[in-house]
Amino acid sequence: MQNSFKCGFVAIVGRPNCGKSSLLNKLLKQDIALVSHKANATRKKMNFIVPFKDKNGIESQIVFVDTPGIHHQEKLLNQFMLKEALRAISDCDLCVFMASIFDKTKYYEEFLELTDKPHIILLSKIDIASKEQVLQKINDYKKYSQKFLSLVPVSSQKAINLSDFLFEVAQYLPYSPPLFDTDILTDENLKQIYKEIIRESVFNNLSDEIPYESEVQIEKFIEGETFDKVFAKIFVEKESQKSMVIGKNGQTIKRIGKQAREKMQIIGEKKIFLSLNVFVQKSWSKEKENLKKFGYDFEV
């Protein structure tokens, strides 16, 4: 075939906290995707662009779509997140179902009930499992062999089998010229990336329900060649949560800001001025109109 370039969209889906964002950051060689040890950190789908060249010299531009974890809950925000994941599956060329090596196969069965999209199974976290556990889990999936294109066991932490995974993905992509500039890692604008970095810092520095009932809005963003100014608001649902976000003598909000600013400077490759203020917006995650104001539109 004369065309030797492939390009396509690949949705990565799975249960909350299965390691989707950690995998993407490893493939990108930069920490852009939001990572937290807390489940449901990813709320919206985001595109991340990974170039790949196989041993035959065929180049690919793989546009991975990071999605919220697949789960079923009654909360409105969780309903939006499920719709966002299903929308990504519907729009992609190929799907990757990612599961921890320790997950039960019933979660894969639930995925199969949602879609018949062609997909690859990615078994993660094999570095913390024994060889016997890995072989047993691969054997457990054999009864579904007619359902998936291939199965690849990987470790993001130890970068095990990541090239094999990219090869499997690339071979199922359509021949197409690249859709994005070859030197970018994501099509998200810098303002959106900064917002996610702040949200990640909130998740990393606060416990219990606060991260799940918090949201970040960038009120003002002044971009310069060597210096960006970011004025952001952190919203919570209760006065008690506001006090906890601020912390005694403002120590918690300072820690959140310091961690976020340091990561922004790495990603943006420039100095950052960051201003954070905390506000209470009661029941923002429980009412559709409030969710829409924060960009979670069910009608899209």
pLDDT for the residue 261: 97
Query: 32 and 190 in contact (C-beta within 8 Å)?
Result: no
Residue 207 has pLDDT above 90, yes or no: no
Domain co-membership, 163 together with 198: no
Does residue 179 form part of some domain? Answer: no
pLDDT for the residue 42: 67
Residue 230 has pLDDT above 70, yes or no: yes
Ranges 76-80, 201-205, 274-278: which has the least confidence: 76-80
Domain co-membership, 159 together with 209: no
pLDDT for the residue 11: 94
Domain that holds residue 247: 190-293
Domain co-membership, 198 together with 165: no
Last residue of a domain, one of 105, 137, 171: 171
Does residue 33 form part of some domain? Answer: yes
Does residue 205 form part of some domain? Answer: yes
User: Domain tally for the chain?
Assistant: 2
Question: What mean pLDDT is predicted for residues 198-218?
Answer: 86
Domain co-membership, 213 together with 137: no
Domain co-membership, 53 together with 158: yes
Domain co-membership, 26 together with 59: yes
pLDDT for the residue 158: 93
- Report CA-CA distances (Å) from 111 to 25, 116, 145, 210: 24, 9, 15, 29
pLDDT for the residue 179: 92
pLDDT for the residue 2: 46
Domain co-membership, 27 together with 110: yes
Last residue of a domain, one of 171, 203, 236: 171
Does residue 251 form part of some domain? Answer: yes
Better-scored residue on pLDDT, 233 or 4: 233
For residues 210 and 199, give the distance between their C-alpha atoms in angstroms, rounded to a whole number: 11
Query: 58 and 3 in contact (C-beta within 8 Å)?
Result: no
Q: To the nearest whole number, what is the mean pLDDT of the chain?
A: 89
Last residue of a domain, one of 118, 141, 171: 171
Tens of pLDDT, residue by residue over 104-146, are 999 999 999 999 999 999 999 999 999 999 999 999 999 999 9
Q: Please give the biggest Cα pair distance in the chain.
A: 66
Does residue 176 form part of some domain? Answer: no
pLDDT for the residue 253: 97
Domain co-membership, 126 together with 263: no
DSSP per residue, 94-129: EEEEEEETTS-THHHHHHHHH----EEEEEE-GGGS
Better-scored residue on pLDDT, 257 or 41: 257
Does residue 31 form part of some domain? Answer: yes
Q: Which of 86, 106, 98 is nearest to 20 (CA)?
A: 98
Query: Which CATH number goes with the domain that contains 118?
Result: 3.40.50.300
pLDDT for the residue 1: 42
For residues 143 and 121, give the distance between their C-alpha atoms in angstroms, rounded to a whole number: 13
Q: Calculate what percentage of the chain has a pLDDT beyond 90.
A: 62
Domain co-membership, 240 together with 118: no
Its pTM surpasses 0.75: yes
Residue 66 has pLDDT above 90, yes or no: no
Tens of pLDDT, residue by residue over 161-195, are 999 999 999 999 999 999 999 888 888 888 988 99
Residue 55 has pLDDT above 80, yes or no: yes
Does residue 47 form part of some domain? Answer: yes
Does residue 181 form part of some domain? Answer: no
Query: Which CATH number goes with the domain that contains 197?
Result: 3.30.300.20
Domain co-membership, 33 together with 83: yes
Better-scored residue on pLDDT, 238 or 81: 238
Domain co-membership, 153 together with 198: no
Domain co-membership, 161 together with 223: no
